[in-house]
């Protein structure tokens, strides 16, 4: 097994105490636990504080546009399904500007691990309301309090046919690493939504606040992540936020369904021009 330090490129410059440190650590631990070569790991990030992760992580990376992690990551995965593709977004990236892509990635059940770091606001742009900001919250963009009701990523994922839905807390790195590791092994799309405090702009949803407001699903009597009804019930509790593996289901992955041969990745195809075969195809136009 590799040491987690193997994946460490640079020390991050996030604000001291930022939840992203825990997430960074958890991803490294998960990669180490799976003994991934850094060359076989591609991390696709969006725009926001989380997007700096590529600079700190020793792996192939794609830091694209705001909200567009999903299509980029899908393109990579389909061209080389042997790669471990981990996409990462913030709540703005995933649930605001990238919401459409998120739902369709779930629908396709493509083999990606999607880590969404949710700090309940736009932090990099100094603290505006995001889709997960609580109703009534005063932010830079909502001086009179947010007039929109928040949405919940895991609930959306369950409704959209997600096959691996988990929620972690960046204050519990060991649990989080285990969830990410599990998600990386999942055959299909894995969402790991992470409750992650922003120590600079969010003075309400702090580490302590989360500790008081989370419940681990494994502590719920008779909880079974294969039971959709139980998953709905756990997600419906807005007083106590369900954390852990909320739902899991086996469904064929998109790459399994659409790729002609998973053992011959598109990335390594020989592109030589097959003249006689092409001529035969052209004959249809005669």
Partner 1 sequence: MIKDLAVMIAGKAGDGVLFTGNVLARLLKRHGWEIVTSRDFPSNIRGESTCYTIRASRDKIYGLSDHVNILLAFDCEAILAHLPEIAEHGIVFCDGQGLTEPLPEQARGKTFHRFALRAFAREQFGQEIFKNTMALGALSYVLDIDTSLVEGIISEMFLKRKGEEVVRKNVEAARFGYEKAREITSETERHPLTRKADEDRILISGDEAIGLGALAAGCRYFAAYPICPASEIWQWLVYYLPDFGGVVVQTEDELAALNMTLGASFAGARAMTSTSGPGASLMMEAFSLAGMAEIPAVIAHVQRLGPATGMPTKSQQGDVLQWIFGSHGEFPRIVLSPGTVGECFDLTVGAFNLAEKYQCPVILLTELDMGQDYRTARAFDFSSVVIDRGKLLSPDQLLGMADFKRYEITPDGISPRALPSWKKGIHLAESLEHDERGYRDEDPLNRRRMMDKRMRKLDHASPDLPGPRTWGCQKAEVGFIGFGSTLGAILEAMEQLRLKGVPSRFLQLRTLWPFPAAEVREFLAESRDVFIVEHNFSGQLATLIKSQVSPCAELKNILNYSTRPFMPREIVEPVLRSRR
Query: Token digits for 238?
Result: 């807005």
Q: What are 230's strand-pairing partners?
A: none
Q: How far is the CB of 33 from partner 1 (least distance, A)?
A: 20
Residue 209: Cβ within 10 Å count: 14
State the residues that interact with partner 1 by CB under 8 A. 38-40, 42, 44, 47, 52, 54-55, 58-65, 68, 70-76, 78-80, 82-83, 100-101, 103-104, 258-261, 264, 266-269, 271-273, 275, 278-279, 281-282, 285-286
Q: How far is the CB of 154 from partner 1 (least distance, A)?
A: 20
Query: Token digits for 271?
Result: 């592109």
Could you tell me if 27 and 54 are in contact, meaning their C-beta atoms sit under 8 angstroms apart?
no
* Choice between 64 and 197, CB closer to partner 1: 64
Q: How far is the CB of 219 from partner 1 (least distance, A)?
A: 37
Could you tell me if 139 and 128 are in contact, meaning their C-beta atoms sit under 8 angstroms apart?
yes
CA–CA gap between residue 246 and residue 156 (Å, rounded)? 13
Is residue 226 classed exposed, middle or buried when 0-12, 13-18 and 19+ CB atoms within 10 A define those classes? exposed
* Choice between 104 and 216, CB closer to partner 1: 104
* Choice between 248 and 255, CB closer to partner 1: 255
* Choice between 44 and 121, CB closer to partner 1: 44
* Choice between 110 and 190, CB closer to partner 1: 110
* Choice between 80 and 125, CB closer to partner 1: 80
Backbone phi, then psi, for 8, in 5-degree steps?
-90, 120
Q: How far is the CB of 257 from partner 1 (least distance, A)?
A: 10
Helices 19-33 and 173-185, axial angle in degrees (round to 10): 50
* Choice between 47 and 178, CB closer to partner 1: 47
Q: How far is the CB of 9 from partner 1 (least distance, A)?
A: 9
* Choice between 147 and 279, CB closer to partner 1: 279
CA–CA gap between residue 83 and residue 80 (Å, rounded)? 6
Q: How far is the CB of 169 from partner 1 (least distance, A)?
A: 28
Backbone phi, then psi, for 284, in 5-degree steps?
-65, -15
Q: How far is the CB of 221 from partner 1 (least distance, A)?
A: 40
CA–CA gap between residue 121 and residue 197 (Å, rounded)? 10
Could you tell me if 188 and 106 are in contact, meaning their C-beta atoms sit under 8 angstroms apart?
no
Q: Looking up tokens 């995001």, which residue turns up?
A: 130
CA–CA gap between residue 243 and residue 17 (Å, rounded)? 21
Rg for the chain, CA atoms, rounded: 20
Which 3 state secondary structure label does DSSP give 130?
Answer: coil
Q: How far is the CB of 14 from partner 1 (least distance, A)?
A: 14
């Amino acid at each position: 097994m590799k040491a987690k330090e193997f994946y460490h490129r640079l020390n991050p410059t996030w604000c001291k105490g930022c939840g992203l440190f825990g997430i960074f650590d958890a991803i490294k631990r998960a990669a180490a636990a799976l003994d991934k070569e850094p060359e076989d790991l591609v991390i696709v990030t969006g725009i926001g504080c989380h997007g700096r992760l590529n600079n700190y992580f020793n792996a192939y990376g794609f830091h694209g546009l705001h909200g567009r992690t999903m299509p980029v990551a899908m393109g990579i995965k389909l061209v080389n399904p042997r790669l471990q593709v981990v996409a990462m977004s913030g709540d703005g990236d995933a649930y605001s500007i990238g919401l459409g892509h998120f739902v369709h990635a779930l629908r396709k059940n493509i083999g990606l691990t999607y880590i969404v770091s949710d700090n309940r606001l736009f932090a990099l742009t100094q603290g505006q309301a995001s889709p997960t900001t609580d109703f009534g919250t005063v932010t830079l963009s909502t001086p009179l309090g947010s007039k929109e009701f928040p949405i919940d990523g895991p609930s959306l994922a369950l409704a959209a046919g997600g096959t691996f839905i988990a929620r972690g807390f960046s204050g519990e790195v060991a649990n989080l690493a285990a969830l990410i590791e599990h998600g990386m092994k999942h055959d299909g799309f894995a969402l790991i939504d992470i409750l992650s405090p922003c120590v600079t702009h969010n003075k309400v949803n702090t580490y302590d606040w989360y500790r008081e407001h989370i419940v681990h699903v494994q502590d719920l009597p008779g909880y079974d992540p294969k039971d959709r009804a139980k998953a709905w019930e756990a997600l419906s509790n807005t007083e106590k936020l369900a954390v852990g593996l909320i739902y899991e289901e086996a469904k064929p992955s998109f790459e399994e369904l659409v790729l002609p041969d998973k053992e011959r990745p598109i990335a390594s195809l020989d592109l030589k021009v097959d003249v006689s075969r092409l001529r035969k195809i052209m004959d249809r136009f005669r």
